Structure 1
């Protein structure tokens, strides 16, 4: 070999290194192109399935529009008498007719036919932008089944798919632009000619190689290869069977709708989704990024906007109506700040939702949740100060925590209307922490425009300079006017404005910790081996019941939003306790001993009541044969031994004709029979249960798919007796 031809730094050696590097870049490019193509194919399948469904929805809307409305589109120029005389009474009839068919109608000339068709098509195009596809799980047909199967491929890929597609698109653009310049010349003569005739071209090649080296190194550091490979694997999986797809849709309907909205573009009205904020504030929010590195859940468009609003405005009240995911938006804010290098966050909430917050943080983010309450709260607080994470504490504990340390990067106050009285101890503690924190989120589902003085109090904690402009006159002018006047500090969205594309069922497990009185009643029931007493021990002492306290809060929030509530329990005495706790205006209980005619009168009174109302139902009596679709909030006082009982009860409200999203809140106690029962039932074959529930046989004989009451009860009683005995020995 001639001197220098193979030496380090020679043209041959440099060319060899460049070829190796280019080879790596080409493989990465191939992975990226594969993800882009596979994703485009999966999205195309969804769009193909959507076409006939969307067309039918538009046709159905057109059928409800009288043909006379065509005159409005043509500003009165269209003569429709001949069309009406020919029996074309709706816009759909005109839309589906051909020009030739219209010309055959006496009195309809070429100009009238063309004008009529153009006007009908104009209305159809407007409808195409507004109709939303709703998937009816109770009435599947071949078209919606095809849509659900197509969506499932994207849902199965999980929230990482969006990151993979974004990464693939970025790599595709960059590598495609760099590869032509970076590919080295081959052959000694060609390299020699290149070096002699094109030093500029050689310089561009070296620069391209350097950029490719940085790109591939960054991809390796971030495991982009694994991300892309997993995405392609997920997107190329075999299609699910009809039954599997429908079962999965029932279990994860919100994720299906999230994909559907993104693909169909049937998002809610932008102004409503952005809380009718003025353009200046909305533009600032749009410019705010949102890092999802530490987040494990995808956000709806309005939820992403809410999180970015809190980040952009720094000290705000997020007042979304109940059921819209205020907790998720707050977690998204904390996750973004964690990605930005912050390590300490604080959540303050009522004791009744502390466990929920802890679980939500752990399941929806990679952040550490540190409960700071109970006898070891000071130790937990010290551990949080040392290691970081999200400290979750209660209003009653907050005042006892030292404030001399460095403040957290963000403070979240849930159920912020609890601090409306500035003289209360909890309010003073929140005010002190709020003053020290740069970023603060107050969460409340209570509409503040109905409580202007309360709102002034909350804003005084956050942005006191806004207080003078918060006047009752803006609230009187209407909610939109009020929200625009306080836009720098307040964002509220309503279900009817932003949930048009979402499933009609949102399920929330409300986990509570036993109070001391609850715990005593529970231990007594376990010692007696009384399974039924164990299930209702959480309501034995109403004045100190953790579940009952959460139930009161849910009912109060529903009342503030004029929502009707139906409360289900297996036990008559639990319903009696609830009735005393909630108030004398509650309807029911609708129980097994109530005659059928009286039951129907109760349901009719409930439906006819203006605004908020509460109906109590024994689950075996209210779960079958009644239409409770006036309710949009369902509260289950305890989990059921037979899952079909819950399914049938919820189905009384969540059914055809329901016009609002139904929220189902299941009250559960940690370290109890509830926990045991759910684990046992979830460990059964979940798909089998869902298949069976969808069958006619299961609807007729629910016992066929439920576990034996006696066997289950004995197992749980024995396990709880052993657990509590062990706990007692350990104490």
Structure 2
């Protein structure tokens, strides 16, 4: 027997409680230091993998907890606490330096960052390794995210109430929603989201990320319209029963038409379309073009003017928060999210509202049509996929769902098997990823085209411009009536005298060119250009992020200034090409745009940079202001559409809807001809600018007289 006070043979002396606590804490810090070095090394080697991101987040979580525990430990000496805190600060410094290398890591440092199942499991393993088992509640299954807090301003438009009262049978029937069918799952114990995301990094092998598509159909195309082959393929897939799509075609390949006709093929009405504000008007116009038999309504502000009986409801992200309540209960049969990369930050209110609506629609409708449209689903990181996949119902916050999970089960592989990543990638693609590039479908589209993008001028600027246009119209009418009253009775004509209208327009145009006093057609166009500037710049920034370099053309310096301020605020690097620059400065800016991959936009004066430049490094142009002739417009487009250009060129004209801007755009089209604008090398006779200016005034006066 062992003596009293001595340990028995084969037993181990137990350290005092405070020493055990200090050693465990020290061991934890050692594990954190080793792990953070692993993450740092991974970040230095290249793009951070999902597993490295998981380690990064766990270190951040444990570092925060350990820091608080050391500071609160009254049983330790001051010297010991200081030493431990110093070591923890060193780990924090490495975390911060590593996060700078990858912006996606910065979000994981936030206290409200979403903790994945993989991070929770790794945290538990690390604590267990040093003898600090986490309490059971720390590793409990992740609960569904709480619904976003109700904003201060939440509305239900009167038209929606009227729709409900008019026909109680319009209330949606939720009984047909597909029930979840649980079955034994071989992969239930595996963390799958990380490997699924990683499969797009590891298993691509140059293969296209595009699901197999059927033979194209034109069955749903309205008379007078024509679908391209690649567009008809997607519509055919919807007609065959496919209901979820990540449509990632490059800009300019007609995603809007594909979405609208897919809704027609799937009978997914009423259809909700969530879009950026800058393209809201264009969606309504395209809906009228491709589904003319369907009623479309656009939600403006609090929705006082919407038609709740419409088939297609268009709403912009900026006002979605105040309408999310009634929209979720409306009974939509489909939902389209345009520029879906807008929702990539799942902690943002915008993303939370979109995901909430998707979940409510899927809970209330059997196989609703869900479409995410974006030219670039990945902007910063492979993690950008998460929110889009969640919107489509392929995953939830922690695991694959439905058909995606069934596909992974049927593959018969686990993440430990070498062939898992290629099979997993294909399973995700087959859920509905559709990606075509311009160069792949070049035979389907013209080498050069112009696309009009109508925008609404809202707020004080929009009201002022419309008031000024009415004032100009009243002056023209007054001048017409005075000239008409001065005529002799022998020259009277019945109705509107077209000759006199044209003469009055000539007088107005002569006065406008000889004096700057008062509102005239030139000052009107300048004010419209100023009002469009930020919207046009915002759209150019979107294009730059999704399609590469963009050329931004404007006529007036103040429009260029506003655009450059917008790019600066959004962190978009640009080169400025203006008339007042010296030749050397101008060439340096051109070279920067051409050669520097970080310079995304060239802000160009339409007159100074419209000729003599080679900007074929860009295949997308934004025309923020209209020119008076098709020739000036064509010359600007030809800065990119020239020898050396390898991709089709698209020029996006920003048009102020319901203003003289739209009338002038139509006149330019009429005078030049659509074919001349779409095809290269046209020898069609060009119309003098004065003819367009004159016709704009003639149109304005004629419409005012007809309305009187």
TM range (shorter): 0.5 to 0.7
| Distance apart, 1:391 and its partner CA | 2.1
Cα distance, 1:410–1:448 mapped onto 2, change above 3 Å: same
- Pick from 679, 683, 687 the counterpart of residue 706 of structure 1: 687
Aligned residues: 430
Matched residues in 1 for 2:535 and 2:674: separation?
35
Partner residue of 2:335? 411
- Pick from 581, 605, 611 the counterpart of residue 624 of structure 1: 611
Q: Is the 8 A contact 2:451 2:650 kept in 1?
A: yes
| Distance apart, 1:607 and its partner CA | 1.2
Partner residue of 2:549? 564
Partner residue of 2:220? 292
Partner residue of 1:371? 297
Q: Is the 8 A contact 1:335 1:367 kept in 2?
A: no
Partner residue of 1:455? 385
1:484 aligned onto 2:426: yes
- Structure 2 counterpart SS, 1:360: helix
Matched residues in 2 for 1:486 and 1:692: separation?
39
- Structure 2 counterpart SS, 1:625: coil
1:582 aligned onto 2:557: no
Cα distance, 1:432–1:513 mapped onto 2, change above 3 Å: same
Q: Is the 8 A contact 1:316 1:488 kept in 2?
A: no
1:607 aligned onto 2:571: no
Matched residues in 1 for 2:313 and 2:633: separation?
34
Partner residue of 2:456? 513
1:534 aligned onto 2:524: yes
Matched residues in 1 for 2:278 and 2:209: separation?
32
Partner residue of 2:579? 592
- Pick from 323, 326, 335 the counterpart of residue 400 of structure 1: 323
Q: Is the 8 A contact 2:575 2:599 kept in 1?
A: no
Matched residues in 1 for 2:652 and 2:439: separation?
22
| Distance apart, 1:447 and its partner CA | 3.2
Per-residue CA distance 1:387-409 (angstroms, 9 max, x = gap): xx222222244442624755222
Per-residue CA distance 1:238-289 (angstroms, 9 max, x = gap): xxxxxxxxxxxxxxxxxxxxxxxxxxxxxxxxx9999445xxx63xx53997
| Distance apart, 1:304 and its partner CA | 2.8
Per-residue CA distance 1:536-593 (angstroms, 9 max, x = gap): 32454xxxx55523432332332344x1111111112211111111128654432233
- Structure 2 counterpart SS, 1:549: helix
Matched residues in 1 for 2:332 and 2:206: separation?
30
Partner residue of 1:390? 312
Matched residues in 2 for 1:651 and 1:380: separation?
41
Matched residues in 2 for 1:454 and 1:721: separation?
52
Partner residue of 1:498? 440
TM-score, structure 1 as length reference: 0.52
Cα distance, 1:712–1:302 mapped onto 2, change above 3 Å: closer
Aligned Cα root-mean-square deviation (Å):
4.1
Matched residues in 2 for 1:334 and 1:587: separation?
38
Matches within 5 A, 1:123-162: none
Per-residue CA distance 1:688-731 (angstroms, 9 max, x = gap): 988999688x9xxxxx833353x75466468658979999x9xx
Q: Is the 8 A contact 1:639 1:678 kept in 2?
A: yes
- Pick from 272, 285, 296 the counterpart of residue 346 of structure 1: 272
Partner residue of 2:626? 639
Matched residues in 2 for 1:295 and 1:380: separation?
28
Matches within 5 A, 1:47-196: none
- Structure 1 counterpart SS, 2:551: strand
- Structure 1 counterpart SS, 2:308: helix
Matched residues in 1 for 2:451 and 2:349: separation?
31
- Structure 2 counterpart SS, 1:621: coil
Partner residue of 2:376? 446
- Structure 1 counterpart SS, 2:429: coil
Gapped regions of structure 1 (runs ≥ 5): 1-270, 699-703
Q: Is the 8 A contact 2:376 2:546 kept in 1?
A: yes
- Structure 2 counterpart SS, 1:677: helix
Q: Which has the higher contact order (CA 8 A, sep 6+)?
A: 2
Cα distance, 1:640–1:434 mapped onto 2, change above 3 Å: same
- Structure 2 counterpart SS, 1:667: strand
Is the helix fraction higher in 1 or 2?
A: 1
- Pick from 422, 429, 433 the counterpart of residue 357 of structure 2: 433
TM-score, structure 2 as length reference: 0.53
Q: Is the 8 A contact 2:217 2:232 kept in 1?
A: no
Cα distance, 1:605–1:482 mapped onto 2, change above 3 Å: farther
- Pick from 647, 660, 673 the counterpart of residue 660 of structure 1: 647
- Structure 1 counterpart SS, 2:639: helix
Cα distance, 1:515–1:274 mapped onto 2, change above 3 Å: farther
Matches within 5 A, 1:264-283: 275-277=208-210, 282=212
Cα distance, 1:380–1:560 mapped onto 2, change above 3 Å: closer
